Amino acid sequence: MRKCIYDGALPINLYASDLFSEYEELSYELWRDKATFPQGHFMADDILAPNEAFTRGTLMTQLGPGQCDIISITMFLHLFDYANQLKAATRILRLLAHKPGSLVLGSQAGSTTPGEVPLKPPFAELHEEGKRRTVYRHNPESFEGLWKEAGRAAGVPLKVSAVFHAPDDFGKVKAADEGFDVAAKERKYFTGAETRRLYFSVMRS
C-alpha cells in the first residue's frame, strides 16, 4: 500500500489484509504514518478459514464480494499446498470486481519442476494426519492450470500470464527507485537449480 501511495494512488482507494491484526499497528509504528491511512482499511482475516467463518469474516462483510479492481498477492500463494492455493485463489476471485480487466497480480517462488515440496525445519510441523506439510511450487503452466481451475470453480473467465523472468529492466528500475539492489536480494532468496521467481497476472476476461 505504501508503494502504491508513493506512486500516486489515493489511500482511500486502498485496502490491505493479513492473518495477523497486529501488523496494522506495528506498521504504523515502523513507518510513523498512521495519519496517512483511513480507518478500517486493514482487514485481519484468514483466507483459508472454514466456509462459514470466511463468509462472515471481515473481507466478505467489510470489504465485500466483487469490490476490488486490482488485487496484489505477492509472495502469498506459495505458502500453501495445492489444495489450499486453490481454496485461496477461488476466494480471491470472489473479491475481484465483476468486470473485464479486473486483475490479480504478483510474484512468488516457483520451480522449473512443479509439485509439492516438503517444508524444512523450522517450518516442517506435521499435519493432524501426521503427514509432513508441503507447499506447491509452480512453473508457468501449472500456475495457469491452478487459476483456470479456480476460475471454473468461481464461474469467472480468466486470462492468465505467468513467466519466470522479470522484464530485463526490472532490477535496474527498482534499484534506482528504492535505493537497493533487487538483483542481489533475488540471488539470496531464489537459490537452487530449479528455483525461480514467477511473475504473474490473472485478468478477468
Pairing of strands 115-118, 103-111: unpaired
Residue with smaller CB distance to ligand SAM, 18 or 186: 18
Give least dist CB 49 to ligand SAM, A.
8
CA distance 62 to 41: 9
Residue with smaller CB distance to ligand SAM, 75 or 83: 75
CA distance 26 to 28: 5
Residue with smaller CB distance to ligand SAM, 49 or 97: 49
Give least dist CB 149 to ligand SAM, A.
19
Give least dist CB 80 to ligand SAM, A.
8
CA distance 2 to 31: 9
Residue with smaller CB distance to ligand SAM, 25 or 141: 25
Give least dist CB 75 to ligand SAM, A.
4
Q: Interface residues with ligand SAM (CB under 6 A)?
A: 18-20, 46-48, 74-76, 79
23 DSSP assignment = H
Joined together, the cell numbers standing for residue 170 give: 526490472
CA distance 24 to 45: 12
